[in-house]
Amino acid sequence: MNGVTVIDHPLVQHKLTIMRKKETSTAGFRRLLKEISTLLCYEITRDLELTMERIETPLTEIDAPVLEGKKLVFASILRAGNGLLEGMLDLVPSARVAHIGLYRDHETLEAIEYYFKAPEDVANRLVIVVDPMLATGNSSIASIDKLKERGAHNIRFLCLLAAPEGIANFQKAHPDVPIYTASIDSHLNEKGYIVPGLGDAGDRMYGTK
Query: What's the Cα-to-Cα distance from 205 to each of 52, 72, 143, 195, 201, rounded to whole Å?
Result: 40, 25, 21, 18, 6
Binding mask of the shown chain, residues 64 to 93, with x at each position contacting ligand URA by CB under 6 A? ----------------x-------------
Q: Residues 8, 51, 90, 108: which is the catalytic one?
A: 108
Nearest-angstrom CA–CA distance, 185 and 198: 10
167 touches ligand URA by CB under 6 A: no
Nearest-angstrom CA–CA distance, 78 and 90: 19
> Least distance to ligand URA from the beta carbon of 50, Å?
36
103 touches ligand URA by CB under 6 A: no
Q: Cβ-count burial of 25 within 10 angstroms (0-12 exposed, 13-18 middle, 19+ buried)?
A: exposed
* 108 counts as catalytic: yes
Nearer to ligand URA, 40 or 194 (CB): 194
135 touches ligand URA by CB under 6 A: yes
> Least distance to ligand URA from the beta carbon of 204, Å?
8
200 touches ligand URA by CB under 6 A: yes
133 touches ligand URA by CB under 6 A: yes
> Which range touches ligand URA (CB under 6 A), out of 48-56, 118-126, 143-151, 187-195?
187-195
> Which range touches ligand URA (CB under 6 A), out of 46-54, 118-126, 152-160, 199-207?
199-207
Q: Residues 5, 26, 104, 121: which is the catalytic one?
A: 104
Task: Determine if residue 139 is labeled as part of a ligand binding site.
Answer: yes
Residues annotated in the binding site for uracil, as ranges?
A: 194, 199-201
Binding site for ligand URA (CB under 6 A): 80, 133, 135, 192-194, 197, 200-202
Active-site residue list: 104, 108, 200, 203
